[in-house]
Amino acid sequence: MPEEKVPSGEPGTSEELAYGQNPDHVRPDWQDYFLKVMDTVAERANCDRGRAAAIIVKDKRIIATGYVGAPAGLQSCDEIGHLIKVAFDERGGQKKHCVRTTHAEMNAIAQAARHGTSIDGATIYIKMTPCLDCTKLLINAGITTVVCRKRYHADHDSVRILKAAGVDLQVLSEEQETYANME
Ligand SMILES: [Zn+2]
Ligand SMILES: [Zn+2]
């Protein structure tokens, strides 16, 4: 009786693929992996002015996540509409902001605080360059690398401050994030 061929699992011992060997499977690299997780977290966002999310990573481990939304237990924009406030810039232009929500970056920091997780020296993955308030908070929380998929339209001060603080800012696309009724 011919001996049944059992894959040995040892590389290079057979012309045929060993059971479970999948050389054609393409794994996402770490950055793609974190950005894909970020997109999944963003689905939980409850304000349509952005629907952003943030992933905080240390030693290739996700240690906190956050998405833009109303404070826990309060009604969200999706449920009752935005809470819009008008702000004026130094040139007299006006911008409308939804202030019902907490930004994704802040919520990720709050989640880490709630669980007593240090994010000192960590990397944050976010949809667009952070606003000024999030920028200052990220610096003081000890975030040392900020990876953004796109630019936020008014990120001049944030970019300047991140650089001044020695934070490694990586913007993956110069494309600007836009959303409805932004001005
Ligand atoms: Zn809103
Ligand atoms: Zn922000």
Has residue 180 got a pLDDT over 80? Answer: no
| Distance from the Cα of residue 133 to its chain's centroid | 16
Which ligand is located closest to the Cα atom of residue 80?
1
Please give the positions annotated as active site.
Answer: 105
Q: How far is the CA of 42 from the centre of ligand 1 (A)?
A: 14
pLDDT of residue 6: 57
Has residue 124 got a pLDDT over 80? Answer: yes
Q: How far is the CA of 78 from the centre of ligand 1 (A)?
A: 7
The distance in angstroms from the start CA to the end CA of the chain is: 80
pLDDT of residue 88: 87
Say which residue, 107 or 4, is predicted with more confidence: 107
- Per-residue pLDDT band for 179 (boundaries 50, 70, 90) equals low
- Per-residue pLDDT band for 183 (boundaries 50, 70, 90) equals very low
Q: How far is the CA of 6 from the centre of ligand 2 (A)?
A: 57
Which ligand is located closest to the Cα atom of residue 45?
1
Q: Provide mean pLDDT across the span 114-134.
A: 97
Burial 105-123 (b: 16+ CB within 10 A, else e): bbbbbbbbeeeeeebeebb
Q: Provide mean pLDDT across the span 158-175.
A: 95
Q: How far is the CA of 52 from the centre of ligand 2 (A)?
A: 10
Q: Provide mean pLDDT across the span 78-102.
A: 92
Has residue 169 got a pLDDT over 70? Answer: yes
CB 78 within 8 A of CB 55: no
Which ligand is located closest to the Cα atom of residue 74?
1
Mean pLDDT of the chain: 91
Q: How far is the CA of 80 from the centre of ligand 1 (A)?
A: 9
Per-residue pLDDT reduced to its tens digit, 3-58: 555 555 565 555 789 999 999 999 999 999 999 999 999 999 999 998 999 999 99
